[in-house]
Copies of this chain bind each other. A is one copy, B any other.
Amino acid sequence: METLQAIFTRRSIRHYTKDPVSAETVQKLLEAGMSGPSACDFQPWHLVVIDDRKILDEIPTFHAHASMLPEAPMAILVCGEPDVSRYWQQDCGAAAENILLAAHDLGLGAVWLGLYPRENRTVPMRKLLNIPENVSPMALIVMGHPNEQKPPQGKFTEEKVHRNRW
Contacts and interface: CB of A to CB of B under 8 A. Distances in A.
A6 B4 CA distance: 10
A98 interface: yes
A150 to B, nearest CB: 13
Interface string A93-117: 1101110111011100000101001
How many chain copies does the complex carry? 2
Interface in A1-34: 1-8, 10, 12, 28, 30-32, 34
15 contacts: A2-B3, A7-B35, A7-B102, A8-B35, A30-B161, A43-B155, A48-B162, A49-B161, A49-B164, A86-B118, A90-B90, A90-B93, A90-B138, A90-B139, A135-B166
Interface residues of A, number: 69
A49 B162 contact: yes
Interface of A: 1-8, 10, 12, 28, 30-32, 34-37, 39, 43, 45-52, 55, 86-87, 89-94, 96-98, 100-102, 104-106, 112, 114, 117-118, 129-132, 135, 138-139, 153-157, 160-166
Main secondary structure of the interface of A (DSSP, over half): mixed
A48 B90 CA distance: 18
A154 B32 CA distance: 10
Given A90-B139, A129-B165, A157 B105 contact: no
